[in-house]
Amino acid sequence: MDVTNVPGIASGDRVVVSSQGLSSTGLVTVSGGNYTALVNLTAQPGTQDLLVVVVDSSFSLPPKAAKVLRSVNISSGGSSSYTFTASDVLAPANVSVNLPSGFSPTFGDAWVFYLSTDNKGWGIVGGTTGTSALNFSYRPVAGSGSGDRYVVMAVAGDSSNVLERFKGASGSSGSTITLALPNPWPANSLTVTRQAHPTVSGLSYADPSLKAYQIELEDSTLIYQVTLSKGWLGNATTYTVPDLSSQLTYTPFASGSTVHISITAVLSAANVLNLDSNDPASFGATTDISLVHATDQYTPSGIGSIQLP
């Protein structure tokens, strides 16, 4: 891989080649004024798109350059070469993340992923943590076009609410991506009984794009998850987690243990309950989903209740 034409290139930089299930790195060296890197791929044989990014020795984001290589035929013992040209280095674009009014997070991060049209070439082309995640740059991918897309993931949270949003964008534009994080749950809007299989009240998050609620209970021995679609729940705002221990042969949360609970409102204008975080093909340029998590913990005593967030 010849990266001589990448602005700011230096010996010790890295070239990263990635696709679904693959990420291989090569060290940039200089000889006679030419900067090159050898990347040894470990991938399944076949034809696929590959994302190539050039980063500094600290793997800082955004990368110095990003390029998609189309329909690369990978074979055992095979080899190929590519030279980055000046036109392969596109100007950085911007991501802007807006917080709800009055929400002061104690942590946050945001990332930009690129996905090629064959759903195999993908990787991170921008991202940061902390307050800088509200406004940062990503590197558009040279050679991208119809069917390619970016997905921005942003998250911010405090001691009781975690706000997330996933938003797609066209892979051919490389333009500014703006997204607003959803409103947190109102204070003390949810009530949870202190039981191994609790009753949750207050499932009435106000948003026209509400699709579902998710309830997750977890301790060191068990994770219990429930998804309730808005249509199934109807006008009800209370739900009791069913005791399925005999059918599923699990041991319920013990009295005196610490159960971590998360109650999530799932928001989207589209049907997103079929999204699979492990399947890049399920994320498109029009994907837009928000998650509002209220979190806390309790001890299953059977007495009283807690309020979230």
281 three-state secondary structure: helix
Vertex 161 angle, CA 156 and 166, to 5°: 45
Residue ranges of alpha helices (H) inside the chain are 230-233, 245-248
Q: What is the pLDDT of residues 65-95, one digit of tens each?
A: 999 999 998 887 778 899 999 999 999 999 9
pLDDT of residue 67: 97
Q: What is this structure's pTM?
A: 0.90
Q: What is the pLDDT of residues 239-261, one digit of tens each?
A: 999 999 999 999 999 999 999 99
Q: Output the CA–CA distances (angstroms, integers) from residue 229 to 153, 196, 264, 297, in the order listed.
A: 23, 23, 12, 24
What pLDDT band is residue 275 in, cutting at 50, 70 and 90? low
- Average pLDDT of the segment spanning 28-54: 92
Side chain identity at 305, as an amino acid letter? S
Q: Count of CB atoms within 10 A of residue 104's CB? A: 7
Residue found by looking up tokens 């806390």 in the block: 296
What pLDDT band is residue 20 in, cutting at 50, 70 and 90? confident
Q: What are phi and psi of 86, to 5 degrees?
A: -60, -35
74 three-state secondary structure: strand
Side chain identity at 126, as an amino acid letter? G
Side chain identity at 149, as an amino acid letter? R
Query: Please, how many CA atoms are within 13 Å of residue 135, restricted to the half-sphere of its CB?
Result: 1
pLDDT of residue 271: 79
Q: Judging by DSSP bridges, how do beta strands 177-180 and 93-98 pair with one another?
A: parallel
Q: Which of 189, 198, 190, 204 is closest to 237 using CA atoms?
A: 204
- Average pLDDT of the segment spanning 11-27: 93
Q: What is the pLDDT of residues 197-225, one digit of tens each?
A: 999 999 999 999 999 999 999 999 999 99
**Cα–Cα distance for residue pair 7/271, rounded to 1 Å:** 43
203 Cα distance to chain centroid: 25
CB distance 177 to 93 below 8 Å: yes
CB distance 65 to 89 below 8 Å: yes
Q: Output the CA–CA distances (angstroms, integers) from residue 204 to 47, 234, 289, 304, in the order listed.
A: 48, 11, 18, 21
When the pLDDT of each residue in the chain is averaged and rounded to a whole number, the result is: 93
Side chain identity at 150, as an amino acid letter? Y
The single-letter DSSP state of residue 231 is H
Preceding peptide of 309 cis, ω within 30°: yes
pLDDT of residue 45: 78
Query: What's the sign of the alpha-carbon dihedral 6, 8, 13, 14?
Result: negative
pLDDT of residue 42: 79
The single-letter DSSP state of residue 248 is H
- Average pLDDT of the segment spanning 178-200: 97
pLDDT of residue 75: 80
**Cα–Cα distance for residue pair 216/235, rounded to 1 Å:** 21
Side chain identity at 158, as an amino acid letter? D
Query: What's the sign of the alpha-carbon dihedral 237, 242, 248, 252?
Result: positive
Q: What is the pLDDT of residues 125-145, one digit of tens each?
A: 999 999 999 999 999 999 998
